[in-house]
Amino acid sequence: MIKAVIFDLDNTLIDFMGTKKASCDAAIDAMIKAGLRTPKKKAWKTLFSIYREKGIEHQQVFQPFLEKTIGKVDYRIMAAGIVAYRRTKKAMLRTYPNVKKVLVNLHKRYRLAILSDAPVLQAWTRLVEMGIENFFDIVVTYDDTKKTKPHPKPFVTVLKKLGVKPLETVMIGDSLLRDVAGARRLGIKTILAAYGNTGIKKTRFSPDAEISDIKELPPVLEKFDKQPKAY
């Protein structure tokens, strides 16, 4: 019997990468308008090379970006980029369609948790901004374990906090490597959020199910509940 559902946050409940790309695009346009003499394609490549090096959650990306592109920090240009980035992020950050409706349904039947690689403040800020923070019994972030998925420690931590066994739990996430592989190694059932998957498409760990819209989640969970228990 399924007792708990663990959700990844970004690109599973919240369209994080879509918002990130739109915000960065607006920031680059604003910096070029403010005097940045770098072709947009090159600027985009440089900006995301910093994110790959520092992590997608890195909060101070525009200073090293300007140092790499023009050799110094021009605060007028940087301010233009920051303002455009923040405005776009605020306007665009949203949950995927049907998320709140599904969470209302599931919250009545299961214990719900968030398991995110984001820092604690960023994770909680997004949950509150989206108005979905009260659906979750447990929120586990990078700051709780200092490890990122697929390391077992985040999964073990959220299971312990939920008070459930792996076979009583389902993990839903967009990453085959971080979410699916990490959970399956511990015996947790997995569902791939294919609508948010922008990374690698194949690993040796396959999900138990795959959904193209989160509204497909409740029927999949019911199907898991009806499966005979393995002994």
pLDDT for res 136: 98
Q: What CA–CA distances, in Å, run from 145 to 19, 108, 142? A: 27, 29, 6
pLDDT for res 129: 92
Can you give the pTM of this predicted structure?
Answer: 0.84
Q: Six-digit token pair at 136?
A: 């979750």
pLDDT for res 10: 93
- Structural domains of the chain in order of their starting residue, each with its CATH number: 4-15+95-226 (3.40.50.1000), 17-92 (1.10.150.520)
Asked if residues 217 and 191 have their Cβ atoms less than 8 Å apart, the reply is: yes
Residues 31 and 74: their CA atoms lie apart, in Å, by: 10
Strand 169-173 to strand 189-193: parallel, antiparallel, or no bridges (unpaired)?
parallel
DSSP state of 229: P
Residues 105 and 102: their CA atoms lie apart, in Å, by: 5
pLDDT tens-digit profile, the chain (231 residues): 999 999 999 999 999 888 999 999 999 999 999 999 999 999 999 999 999 898 887 888 999 999 999 999 999 999 999 999 999 998 998 999 999 999 999 999 999 999 999 999 999 999 999 999 999 999 999 999 999 999 999 999 999 999 999 999 999 999 999 999 999 999 999 999 999 876 655 667 789 999 999 999 999 999 998 776 544
Place of tokens 């349904």: 105
pLDDT for res 229: 57
**CB neighbour list of residue 4: distance below 8 Å, 6 or more residues apart:** 110, 111, 112, 113, 162, 164, 168, 169, 170
pLDDT for res 231: 40
pLDDT for res 54: 86
Strand 169-173 to strand 138-140: parallel, antiparallel, or no bridges (unpaired)?
unpaired
Degrees, nearest 5: CA angle 98-104-108: 145
pLDDT for res 191: 97
Strands (E), 56-147: 111-115, 138-140
